[in-house]
Amino acid sequence: MRTYTVVVVDDHGLFREGLIGILNRHDSIRVLGEGATSDEAETLVATLAPNALILDVELDSTPAAVTVRRIRRNHPDTGIIILTMHRDAALERELIGAGASSYLTKTAPSSDLVEAIQRVTEERHERIPEAGSSSSLLSPRELDVLRRVSRGLSNKQIAESLQIAPGTVKRHLDNLFRKLGATGRVDALNKAAHIIDLNERAVDDPALPPRERR
């Protein structure tokens, strides 16, 4: 099972401790550190190099967009997940434009945050160019999902095979549909056949259920 490392920065101590407690219940997530200020956020990311930074939108006098830009510029491999009390479309656009990877309200279920951690990590660390495709970038995980689609697996079966949440499978499918300009599974398989070999890992793939191996 893959381990996702995170740093939590929020100036409300009780909320921060509660959030860390929730994340620590997930075997796949390891909290490396915590902080309460923008400066601490930058220092923790620089020192610990986590997969994801969970950042409160209101910390101190430094605007969140400034902190996001600094971290994105200096530490591009760390995904930034913004947490806020209120849904603000304008602020969300500003922060995503500054380089934040995800924007969640504090009323969201913990499963949304866990999936966000997994998603931003995979998007930042597993994105590679595919031969023959100048406009699409499919990550290895998206390729894993697409190959399982080619073998007729459902979203639930794909999730079980890859040990990820069904919602994460759906996000991967939505992403690869967009990248391939596909309208659905069959269309994606037809278009992908021109740029990748979907049978490349068909033999003895340890991640596939035994009945799906060829």
pLDDT in tens, 59-70: 988 899 999 999
Of 125, 152, 171, which closes a domain? 125
pLDDT at 125: 58
104 shares its domain with 191: no
pTM metric for this prediction:
0.61
Position with higher pLDDT, 122 vs 75: 75
pLDDT at 197: 58
| CATH code: domain of residue 23 | 3.40.50.2300
51 shares its domain with 86: yes
pLDDT at 203: 36
CA torsion sign, 61 to 64 to 67 to 70?
negative
Residue closest to 170 by CA, chosen among 107, 94, 115, 128: 115
82 shares its domain with 28: yes
pLDDT at 8: 97
Residues 11-30 pLDDT 10s: 999 999 999 999 999 999 99
120 shares its domain with 134: no
- The residues, any chain, with a CB within 8 Å of residue 159's CB and separated by 6 or more, are 165, 166, 168, 169
Res 43 pLDDT > 70: yes
Cα within 13 Å of Cα(167), Cβ side = 9
pLDDT at 10: 95
10 shares its domain with 110: yes
Position with higher pLDDT, 212 vs 45: 45
pLDDT at 181: 75
Number of domains in the chain: 2
pLDDT at 131: 40
Range of 119's domain? 4-125
8 shares its domain with 113: yes
pLDDT at 117: 93
At 123, which amino acid appears? E
109 shares its domain with 153: no
Mean pLDDT calculated for residue range 52-80: 91
CB atoms inside a 10 Å sphere around CB 25: 9
Of 71, 101, 125, which closes a domain? 125
What's the mean pLDDT when you consider all of the chain? Answer: 82
| CATH code: domain of residue 202 | 1.10.10.10
196, two tokens: 């990748």
